[in-house]
Amino acid sequence: MSNAAAHPVGPGAPPPAADPPRAVRGWVGQALNSVAKRFGARIGMAFIGMIAFSAVFAPFLASSHPLLLKMDRQWTSPAMKHLTPTDVTLLVGFVALLAVAPLRNVKFSHKLAQILGVLAFTIPVALVMAKPPRAVVYDQYRQAANDGRVQFVLNAPIPYSPTDRLRDQFDADRPHPWAPSTAHLMGTERNGADILSRMIHATRIALAVGFIAEGIALVIGVTIGGLMGYFAGAVDLLGMRLVEVFSAIPRIYLLLTFVAFFGRNLYLIMVIIGLTSWVGYTLYTRAEFLRLRKQDFVQAAIACGLPLRSILMRHMLPNGMAPILVNVSFGVASAILAESTLSFLGLGLVDEPSWGEMLNQALSAGGGFYWWLATFPGLAIFLTVFSYNMIGEAMRDAIDPQLQRASAL
Amino acid sequence: MTDEHPLLKIEDLAVSFPATDGSDRRVHAVSGVSLSVYPRQTLAVVGESGCGKSVTALSTLKLIPTPPGRHEHGHIWWSGDSDGGQPTDLLSLSEKQIRRVRGNQIAMIFQEPMTSLNPVYTIGEQILEPILLHQKAPRGQAVQTAIDALTEVGIADPEARLREYPHRLSGGMRQRVMIAMALACQPKLLLADEPTTALDVTIQAQILELLRKLQHERGMSILLITHDLGVVAENADVVAVMYAGRVVEYGSVRDVFSKPLHPYTKGLLASMPVLGDKRTRLATIPGQVPNPTNYPTGCPFHPRCSDRKDDPQCAAEHPALLEVREKHWAACWHAPGYDQAKATTPDLAYRMALQT
């Protein structure tokens, strides 16, 4: 739009004034702003940001593959060569986020669409291009260094991959697990894997389970709840029965059953967590839509002849989104706990490190209590869930100023 | 002017809702309302709260949720679709067809400007959406249409206003924005459901002045719903007085105000404050509006009627709306000349001489 100040229109137009430096914030913007001012929410967001950073840069933070290597007078980058399609997608997505986020005067939905567009292009390319070697020998680099074939090496900050069992450093007098030391900051597991490295790589599962499972739950819950609230009557009645059926399903037992029948599959676990946790969103959305559909601006939108899709998605959903968003942050926390529970019970993933699976290791280590096996993954789960809850509480206070602040932070 | 066709013709409309007491009975919010709006005419529908004014207007755009509501009988003939074409019955249109009429041919402005704008979108986004939908114009042109509409309703610096959120505007400005939204698609009929009730008196006068001016410029018809007789006297051409879901008096504003036939109209007019009158108390109509679940038998007004309260005919039989005088309809057994009245549908193309 052109500069408004250039054309004062109508009688009594104010004298040309400079445009305000910042676009006027909408209601959602104001709420998010007040969330960002809360100390607890800031700590929570900082921690989640750190987790997200670790998840994206895991192959460069903790890897047995050197970032840069000059071996036999040849420069190579084994870390780059061993990138998986997942790594590439995450990295490209992060770069896209960095590129788009600082743009002003671009709507949030447009930014999101741009990032999703970049990812949609990246994923097939990454699947074709990124082909890490199948068989990996982690100790080849240490072996080569011992043999004096390496002229220059730049290692990752934690030079151990999560599945590097340190076979070359086997020592019968000093069996794993090793206590924390300068070489292994959080010690090692019984099979010799570095715990810090596993912790860093496990952030991916924690984030993925939280976001994908809750994303599924959110889409189902908001759709069903929105239709129930808007149409009310018979639709509402049927929807409520569906809600009752699903709220009666015990999530953990269902997960155990599915894992027993279909094997250990992370995506299956995410889908099941999603399919069993939409009930809460449905109830919130339904309540909001029942309230909103009687509001004048919704009536006005209908009287303008707008189609149902626009009324539901554009006019009602953003106004009813606030309590649902609060619930998302609590839901993400509970999804992470569900996955950890499953892994702790030994029914999670086999190869990929996850915090719950590491707790299980601590339990089955045998031969004594190795505090580092349980403390670090336990602390990580606790802090992540705590962070999401802090953000959720700040959001709840931001959208409902009449409510007493839930906590001092 | 004799062979003129009404733009909107409501015929014998009846709308019912289920009773809230849990029984199977249905409450008739509107029963047998007939009225017509001619091009460039302002028809005022007057009455107390709950008499069926808003339901009549909402039915015109099929905005009554069905179920629980139900259109028992009647037609709403609309001739604004295409010139010279046959009138269409709005009640028989499908949801998809009525959507083309809503906002495009018939627009509506609501009572509460403070809540009628969506708080999460800027003014511009809200004005643009119906324009883009109905006029299929490119975005740049739609923005220009929106700016023109805002300028027309007297909003200073419209381009800056487009980027602002509703909470930054005052009530009067919001109502102007609502009117601009309604007018942006050049509707032929504007349904104004108590457009000034929530505003203070000076703003009320400005908004009504604005509506009059826009009607004059655009040749638009207005169906004005109000309970403020002062507003009616100044703005309407034709008045329909409603009571308990029926039209009880219908005529030109001059006839109704100078020679009211129905005791309810007389009571309403008597209860208006008169400037300079030294009386301490205003006249009132005794009693209360009857509960729609339990309308009295016969004439619904007879328990409150001050004229002939004890007439057994009033309590027994419902009087039909008849043309008691030339172009002046009333539904009262005791209206002078009611026994020789003609049974015609209320239909009046009268317009006040324009005074600007």
**What's the pLDDT tens digit per position in B82-117?**
655 678 888 888 888 888 888 888 888 888 878 888
pLDDT surpassing 50 at residue A15: no
Place of tokens 């895991």: A58
Name the pTM for this structure: 0.76
* Contact assessment for residue B335 and residue B265, using Cβ atoms and an 8 Å cutoff: no
* Contact assessment for residue B284 and residue B303, using Cβ atoms and an 8 Å cutoff: no
- pLDDT, position A46: 93
Nearest partner of B305 among B265, B260, B347, judged by Cα: B265
User: 3-state class of B322 per DSSP?
Assistant: strand
**A4/chain B closest Cα distance in angstroms:** 5
A:B CB pairs within 8 Å: 112
- Among A1, A13, A305, the residue with its CB nearest the CB of B134 is A305
Is B130 in Cβ contact with A304 (below 8 Å)? yes
B112 in A contact zone (CB under 8 Å): yes
Instruction: State the ipTM, two decimals.
Output: 0.81
Mutation site, A30, A108, A304, interface B, largest B CB count within 10 A: A304
- Among B115, B159, B160, the residue with its CB nearest the CB of A296 is B115
- Among A14, A233, A307, the residue with its CB nearest the CB of B157 is A14
- Among A11, A301, A318, the residue with its CB nearest the CB of B120 is A318
- pLDDT, position A240: 93
Neighbours of B171 (CB within 10 A): 14
CB-based contacts of B176, cutoff 8 Å, min separation 6 = B150, B153, B154, B155, B207, B210
**A225/chain B closest Cα distance in angstroms:** 19
Q: Residue B120: its chain A contacts at CB < 8 A?
A: 26-28, 318-319
- Give tens-digit pLDDT for B247-291: 889 988 888 888 888 888 888 888 887 777 776 777 788 777 777
**B125/chain A closest Cα distance in angstroms:** 11
CA dihedral A137, A138, A142, A145 (to 10 degrees): 60
DSSP string over B101-144: HBTTTEEEE-S-TTTSS-TTS-HHHHHHHHHHHHH---HHHHHH
Q: Residue A301: its chain B contacts at CB < 8 A?
A: 118
- Give tens-digit pLDDT for A209-222: 888 899 999 999 99
Is A303 in Cβ contact with B102 (below 8 Å)? yes
For residues A402 and A388, what is the distance between their CA atoms, to the nearest angstrom?
22
Is B118 in Cβ contact with A315 (below 8 Å)? yes
For residues B219 and B180, what is the distance between their CA atoms, to the nearest angstrom?
16
- pLDDT, position B184: 84
- Give tens-digit pLDDT for B62-77: 888 777 788 888 888 8
- How much is the mean pLDDT over chain A? 82
Residue A140: pLDDT band with limits 50, 70, 90: confident
Q: Which two tokens stand for residue A295?
A: 């509001």
B140 in A contact zone (CB under 8 Å): no
- Give tens-digit pLDDT for A57-66: 999 998 888 8
* Contact assessment for residue B87 and residue B79, using Cβ atoms and an 8 Å cutoff: yes
pLDDT surpassing 70 at residue A17: no
pLDDT surpassing 80 at residue B337: no
- pLDDT, position A216: 93
Mutation site, A297, A308, A325, interface B, largest B CB count within 10 A: A297
- pLDDT, position B343: 77
- Give tens-digit pLDDT for A353-402: 888 888 888 877 666 778 888 899 999 999 998 998 888 888 877 776 55
- Give tens-digit pLDDT for B158-189: 888 888 888 888 888 888 888 888 888 888 89
* CA atoms B234, B236, B239, B241: torsion sign: negative
Is B159 in Cβ contact with A305 (below 8 Å)? no
Residue A305's H or E segment, with its range, is none
Count Cβ atoms within 10 A of the Cβ of residue A66 and give its class: 0-12 exposed, 13-18 middle, 19 or more buried: buried
Q: Any idea which of A25-29, A146-150, B117-121, B197-201 has the lowest mean pLDDT?
A: A25-29
Over residues A163-173, mean pLDDT: 79
**A347/chain B closest Cα distance in angstroms:** 45
pLDDT surpassing 70 at residue A18: no
Is B108 in Cβ contact with A300 (below 8 Å)? yes
Q: Residue B118: its chain A contacts at CB < 8 A?
A: 297, 301, 315, 319
Q: Residue A10: its chain B contacts at CB < 8 A?
A: 151, 154-158
Q: Name residue B77's beta-bridge partners.
A: B9, B89
Q: Residue A299: its chain B contacts at CB < 8 A?
A: 63, 110, 116
For residues B184 and B147, what is the distance between their CA atoms, to the nearest angstrom?
9
pLDDT surpassing 60 at residue B312: yes
B residues 47-66 lying closer than 8 A (beta carbon) to A: 61, 63
- pLDDT, position A286: 92
Q: Name residue B329's beta-bridge partners.
A: B250, B323
- pLDDT, position B344: 78
- Among A23, A296, A310, the residue with its CB nearest the CB of B116 is A296
Is B110 in Cβ contact with A296 (below 8 Å)? yes
B184 in A contact zone (CB under 8 Å): no
Q: Any idea which of A26-35, B266-275, B311-320 has the lowest mean pLDDT?
A: A26-35
pLDDT surpassing 50 at residue B2: no
Q: Residue A32: its chain B contacts at CB < 8 A?
A: none
pLDDT surpassing 50 at residue B148: yes
Is B102 in Cβ contact with A14 (below 8 Å)? no
- pLDDT, position A179: 83
Nearest partner of B203 among B192, B215, B211, judged by Cα: B211
Q: Which two tokens stand for residue B82?
A: 């295409």
Q: Residue B183: its chain A contacts at CB < 8 A?
A: none
Q: Which two tokens stand for residue B40?
A: 């460039």
Q: Any idea which of A160-174, A268-282, B151-165 has the lowest mean pLDDT?
A: A160-174
A86 residue type, one letter: T
pLDDT surpassing 50 at residue B339: yes
Q: Which residue has the higher pLDDT, B318 or B1?
A: B318
Over residues A147-165, mean pLDDT: 85
Residue A381's H or E segment, with its range, is helix A371-399
Q: Which residue has the higher pLDDT, B27 or B46?
A: B46
- pLDDT, position A3: 44
Nearest partner of B249 among A224, B258, A38, B2, judged by Cα: B258
Quick one: closest CA in B to A316, which residue?
A: B118
User: 3-state class of A110 per DSSP?
Assistant: helix
Over residues A24-30, mean pLDDT: 61
Q: Which residue has the higher pLDDT, B24 or A25?
A: B24
User: 3-state class of A262 per DSSP?
Assistant: helix
B119 in A contact zone (CB under 8 Å): yes
Q: Any idea which of A268-272, B207-211, B260-264, B291-295 has the lowest mean pLDDT?
A: B291-295
pLDDT surpassing 70 at residue A25: no
pLDDT surpassing 80 at residue B349: no
DSSP string over A148-182: T-EEEEE--SB---TT---GGG--TTSPSPPPP-S
- How much is the mean pLDDT over chain B? 82
Over residues B40-49, mean pLDDT: 87
Q: Which residue has the higher pLDDT, B293 or A234?
A: A234
Q: Residue A314: its chain B contacts at CB < 8 A?
A: 121, 129
